A = this chain, B = another copy of it.
Amino acid sequence: MATGGSKRVRVIDVANAVGVSKATAVFSLNDRYDIVISEPTRQRVKNMAAKMGYKPNPLAQALSTGKTGMINIVVPYINDPFFSRFLAHFQQIAFDAHLTPIVTANFNEDENADEFMERLIHWPCDAYILCYSKKLAAFLTERKIHLEKPVVYIGEKVDGIDSVYSDHQAAIAAILNHFSEDRRTDIVFVSDEKALHYINERYRLYLDHMKRIGRKPVELVVPERSRGAAYSTVREHLAAHKPPQAFFCYNDELAIGVQRAVQDSGYNVPDVAVSGFDGLPEGDYMNPRLTTVVYPYDKMCHAAWDLLEARKENLAGASNVVEFQSSFVQGGSTRLPDRVPSLTD
C-alpha cells in the first residue's frame, strides 16, 4: 500500500487531470525555469495540484534526490529546562526553513548511549546539530560523518567541526570576585561527578581562586545532576557540618536544590550565599533570586544555523568557531544586604 493513506494524490494523478505529461507536471510544480514550459501550463498544473490537494511524498523525494529535508537535533536530555531552550529555538528555525526536525536525546552517558549513536548515524538526514554532547561529536568525527553532511556543535569549541560556544571565564571570575568583595572565603563547590571528572573550567577557576586566597577547596559531589540529588546531598552535609559562607554551584539545576536545602536546614540565604549557572528562567522566581550566569541562547542558535548553511557549500573546508560572552547576573541569593552590589557587567 502507498505510504500516507490509501488515496493519496500522486504527481501522475495531477498530470493526468491536467492532460500533460508527468515530466511537465513535475517541472511546473518544482519551478524548474530551466525547462521551457509556457506560463499558462505551469499555472494550470499548480492550480490542479492545489485543487486535488497534492503534496509530494517526502520519502519518495528523499530517496530520489538524496535530500531528506530532515535535520537531526541532538541534546543530552529532552526534559531539561536548559537544553529545551535550544530545542525550542531550533524547532522554530527548522520550521521556517521548511525542514523536519528530528529531535533526539542522546542519553549522554547512559547505557543506551552507544546504541543510540549507532542508530543516529544510519538515520538519513541532511545535517546534524549537536548540543553539549562531546562524546557524540567525537563519534561522528571519527566516522567522518562531518565530511558527508554539515555538522555543527553548540556548547564548546570542538576540533574539526564548526562550533558555537559562550565564553564563561569573565563571568566565573565575577562570581568569585563577588564572593571576595563580601569577604566570603569559605566556599564550597557543588557539582555532580561528571563535572569533576572532565577538566572543568568552573572547577579549575574555583581551585585557582581558593589557592589564591589561601583557603582549602571543598567539593561536594552530588550523585546525579538533578535538583533533588543536590538537595539531599546538601541536607546531609549541613546535618554534619557548619554551613560555609558560600556554595558555588556548577549550575542552576543544582543551585535550586542547594538553596532549598540551606533554607530547610534552618539557615538563611544569602547569609549562606548560593550561586548558580545557566540563567534558567526559574532562578528568577526563587526566593531569594538566584545569582547566575546567562548566555545569549538565541544568538548562539542562529549562529549555529548560519554555520550550517555556510557549511553545505564546502564540506571539506576548515572548521569555524563563533564565540559569545556569558554574563554574570547578581541575584539576592548572594547579595549581603549591607553591601553595595558589584556587577562587572
> In this assembly, does A257 line the interface, its C-beta being within 8 Å of a C-beta of chain B?
yes
- Chain B residues with Cβ below 8 Å from A263 are 287
Question: Which A residues, 282 to 332, have Cβ-Cβ distances below 8 Å to chain B?
Answer: 282, 284-287
Closest residue on chain B to residue A264 by CB atoms: B287
- Can you list, as one digit per residue, whether each of A126-161 has a CB less than 8 Å from chain B (1) or not (0)? 000000000000000000010011000000000000
In the complex the two chains form, what is the Cα distance from A257 to B285 in whole Å?
7
> In this assembly, does A102 line the interface, its C-beta being within 8 Å of a C-beta of chain B?
yes
> In this assembly, does A63 line the interface, its C-beta being within 8 Å of a C-beta of chain B?
yes
Closest residue on chain B to residue A103 by CB atoms: B103
Query: When the two chains form their complex, are residues A78 and B68 in contact, meaning their CB atoms are under 8 A apart?
Result: no
- Can you list, as one digit per residue, whether each of A46-63 has a CB less than 8 Å from chain B (1) or not (0)? 000000000101111011
- Can you list, as one digit per residue, whether each of A1-27 has a CB less than 8 Å from chain B (1) or not (0)? 111111000000000000000000000
| Oligomer copy total | 2
Query: When the two chains form their complex, are residues B68 and A79 in contact, meaning their CB atoms are under 8 A apart?
Result: no
- A: number of interface residues (CB 8 Å): 55
Within the complex, the shortest CB–CB distance from A82 to chain B, in Å, comes to 10
> In this assembly, does A87 line the interface, its C-beta being within 8 Å of a C-beta of chain B?
yes
- Chain B residues with Cβ below 8 Å from A149 are 5
Question: Which A residues, 71 to 104, have Cβ-Cβ distances below 8 Å to chain B?
Answer: 77-81, 84-85, 87-88, 91, 95, 100-104
Report which A residues bind B (CB closer than 8 A): 1-6, 55, 57-60, 62-63, 66-68, 77-81, 84-85, 87-88, 91, 95, 100-105, 112, 116, 122-124, 145, 148-149, 227-228, 231, 256-257, 259-260, 263, 281-282, 284-287
